[in-house]
Amino acid sequence: MKELFSRYGGILMGALYGLLVRVIFGWTDFGDVFSLLSITFLGVVPIILGLIPIFLASDEQLEKQWYPVVHPLLTVLVFFIFCIASKLEDLLCIIVLAIPYMAAAVVFGIIARTIIVAKRKKRNKKLYSILLLPVLLGPIEQQFNSPVGIYSVVSTITVDARPEEIWPNIIRVREIKEEEYKRGFFNIAGIPRPLYAELDKDTLHATRIGHFEGGLMFIEKVDAWDRYNHIGFNIKVVPSTIRKTVFDQHLLKGDHFRFLNAAYTLKPMPNGRTELILSSTYQLKTKINPYAAFWGEQLLSDFQERLLKVIKKRCEP
């Protein structure tokens, strides 16, 4: 047992430390003090996860070139397993965390190992005070207002049909059969696919309701109407339909993320074809807006492109 701990204890201790910090930062009673959508949780915590197995390694282990890469990486992977097993995170959350956590842990693990080996000194126990950084920096970070960013995603497809033939298929969307919608990576990971959309009347100020898997619903008020050319609507999630998944709870509850509007634009092309454009706009209010926007772009682009393919297939002869 002692030999096993000497080999893998750093991985276990690092993963358990990460789990403890995740519980603290996700505890709703600490909502005004700590935040999962913060630079501290996204940037500082993974650095420490990479340092723990290096600090606990023997001199013999640190002589191995692969050690500062493999062990910090394994620490992060075990931490992710603990998070999923304890249902603190789901697969989509892990996917979002994976890039910064793995990169930071490995890079700083290599740096720490290089410094320790170069100086040929025992690790100073004072270094372990770094474990307190997240609980010290988290509250400080929360004292600063989160910036608000507005982002748009635009997807385009060419349809071999005229605008008047496409129009009925975008203002209302009849039930999308399983065989019509090609599921992608994000759907498999947990993003719900669209089911159908209903519209109460064909005019400005109409109400459109979008239905998704798992009962998720969005209310869309039509605020732009140019028959056969353009339809726009603002979007609000129906709070009572938000799924219990960790990702949906993080994304759709609170004011960190908010859908603003979406629109279809139809542009006639030669030979009876039409350029169909689907655009959507959303708001982010986090300390990590640029990184969150990167994933917003990936998720919405994937969703919009798959939906446009369904419409294209339905409209073409």
pLDDT of residue 192: 93
Average pLDDT along the chain: 92
* Residues 50, 75 contacting (CB under 8 angstroms): yes
Pairwise CA distance, residues 269 & 160, whole Å: 9
What lies within 8 Å, CB to CB, of 146 at 6+ separation is 256, 285, 286, 287, 289
Q: Are strands 274-285 and 194-199 parallel, antiparallel or unpaired?
A: unpaired
Pairwise CA distance, residues 216 & 241, whole Å: 5
First-to-last alpha carbon distance for the chain, in angstroms, is 69
Residue 96 has which token pair?
């979002």
pLDDT in tens, 177-231: 999 998 999 999 989 999 999 999 999 999 999 999 999 999 999 999 999 999 9
Nearest CA to 170 among 45, 74, 307?
307
* Residues 221, 205 contacting (CB under 8 angstroms): yes
User: Would you say residue 173 has pLDDT above 70?
Assistant: yes
**Cα dihedral sign for 250, 296, 181, 260?**
positive
User: Would you say residue 82 has pLDDT above 60?
Assistant: yes
Q: What domains appear along the chain, each with residue ranges and CATH number?
A: 2-142 (no CATH), 148-315 (3.30.530.20)
Residue 64 has which token pair?
């191995």
The arrangement of strands across the sheet holding 274-285 comes to 148-159, 274-285, 257-268, 230-237, 217-226, 207-212, 194-199
Pairwise CA distance, residues 229 & 263, whole Å: 11
Q: Which helix (H) or strand (E) holds 154?
A: strand 148-159
pLDDT in tens, 247-259: 888 888 878 899 9
pTM over 0.75: yes
Helix (H, G, I), strand (E, B) or coil at 233: strand
**Cα dihedral sign for 88, 237, 186, 102?**
negative
* Residues 284, 255 contacting (CB under 8 angstroms): no
pLDDT of residue 251: 84
In the Cβ-directed half-sphere of 48, how many Cα atoms lie within 13 Å? 26
User: Would you say residue 299 has pLDDT above 80?
Assistant: yes
Q: Are strands 207-212 and 217-226 parallel, antiparallel or unpaired?
A: antiparallel
pLDDT of residue 31: 63
Helix (H, G, I), strand (E, B) or coil at 187: helix
Nearest CA to 183 among 297, 292, 310, 94?
310
